[in-house]
């Protein structure tokens, strides 16, 4: 079995590399290997690799900068997925697993979003990711699996957990937003899900949601990061963490106030429950300590 991974240098790409099963022939492609917004290059790359599965975890994720770099954001998040899907359509047995985001929703709900809820993005980033989903499904509705996720973190890369660990080692007080609620996702957990879908023959076209189980605010997450990092010996100095409102921390892009994704559809497909977010945070801290 041959698998091609676009976005291999990102958080999920790195996690997929760490969790790959040895007897799988995997090609890891970063932007320097293939510009996925160039159809000619993507065709050449896929023809050379001849993958059975393509995993696209490449994305433009600078949410605030996207408000000013609209064209570039859409090129990576909408045009590139369409190109990848077109290339997949040339081989009917080829399957695409594409990673999307909770930002396709506006946060107006107060209960977890399911796959049947109507998207309504409030930011350029969210709108570009939604368009990418639509482009894929228009090209290969029976060959594509779209997985929406949220708040992804990994030991390598820029994410909330790594930022908190850095700031908590440098400062004695932090102000963190407490009126935006979502669910963290340990990249290794998501990567393992993807490999399970491939190796257990559970690939089924459609849109799915997957995060770690449970819901928290950014402030609550920051407090938990401090508690676990201290317990695992990653932090030693005391830090005061203050809850603030979104209005006290203005950003260019609007964030959904509630973007919890319900994962029951995927749980039924793979016949297992999601791990609780705090358990995965502990696994993450344990890995950092080693």
| Catalytic residue IDs | 125
Q: Which two tokens stand for residue 14?
A: 């790195």
Q: Could you give the CA distance from residue 208 to residue 210 in angstroms, rounded to a whole number? A: 7
Q: Could you give the CA distance from residue 49 to residue 69 in angstroms, rounded to a whole number? A: 32
DSSP state of 25: E
3-class SS string, 65-122? HHHCCHHHHHHHHHHHHHHHHHHHHCCCCCEEEEEEEHHHCCCCCCCCECCCCCCCCC
Of 213, 222, 214, give the one whose Cα is nearest residue 193.
Answer: 213
Q: What are phi and psi of 26, to 5 degrees?
A: -115, 130
CB 98 within 8 A of CB 152: no
**Who contacts 201 (Cβ-Cβ below 8 Å, separation ≥6)?**
none
Q: Could you give the CA distance from residue 20 to residue 148 in angstroms, rounded to a whole number? A: 21
**Who contacts 248 (Cβ-Cβ below 8 Å, separation ≥6)?**
175, 177
Of 276, 177, 166, give the one whose Cα is nearest residue 226.
Answer: 166
CB 77 within 8 A of CB 59: yes
Q: Which stretch of DSSP H or E encloses residue 230?
A: helix 218-231
């Amino acid at each position: 079995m041959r698998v091609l991974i676009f976005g291999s240098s990102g958080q999920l790409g790195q996690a997929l590399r760490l969790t790959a099963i040895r007897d799988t022939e995997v090609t890891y492609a970063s932007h320097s290997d293939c510009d996925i917004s160039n159809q000619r290059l993507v065709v050449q790359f896929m023809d050379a690799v001849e993958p059975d599965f393509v995993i696209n975890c490449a994305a433009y994720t600078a949410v605030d900068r996207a408000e000013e770099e609209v064209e570039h954001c859409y090129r990576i998040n909408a045009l590139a997925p369409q190109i990848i899907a077109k290339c997949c359509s040339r081989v009917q047995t080829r399957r695409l697993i594409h990673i999307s985001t909770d930002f396709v929703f506006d946060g107006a709900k107060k209960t977890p979003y399911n796959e049947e809820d109507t998207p309504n993005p409030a930011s350029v980033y969210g709108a570009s990711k939604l368009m990418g989903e639509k482009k894929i499904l228009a090209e290969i509705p029976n060959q594509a699996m779209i997985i929406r996720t949220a708040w992804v973190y990994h030991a390598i890369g820029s994410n909330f957990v790594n930022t908190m660990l850095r700031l908590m080692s440098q400062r004695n007080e932090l102000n963190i937003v407490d009126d935006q609620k979502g669910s963290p996702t340990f990249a290794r957990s998501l990567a393992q899900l993807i490999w399970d879908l491939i190796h257990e023959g559970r690939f089924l076209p459609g849109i799915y949601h997957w995060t770690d189980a449970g819901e928290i605010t950014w402030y609550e997450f920051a407090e938990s990061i401090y508690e676990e990092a201290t317990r695992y010996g990653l932090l030693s100095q005391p830090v005061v963490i203050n809850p603030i409102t979104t209005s006290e921390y203005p950003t260019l892009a609007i964030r959904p106030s509630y973007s919890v994704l319900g994962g029951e559809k995927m749980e039924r497909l793979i016949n297992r429950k999601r791990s609780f977010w705090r358990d995965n945070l502990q696994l993450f801290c344990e890995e950092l300590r080693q």
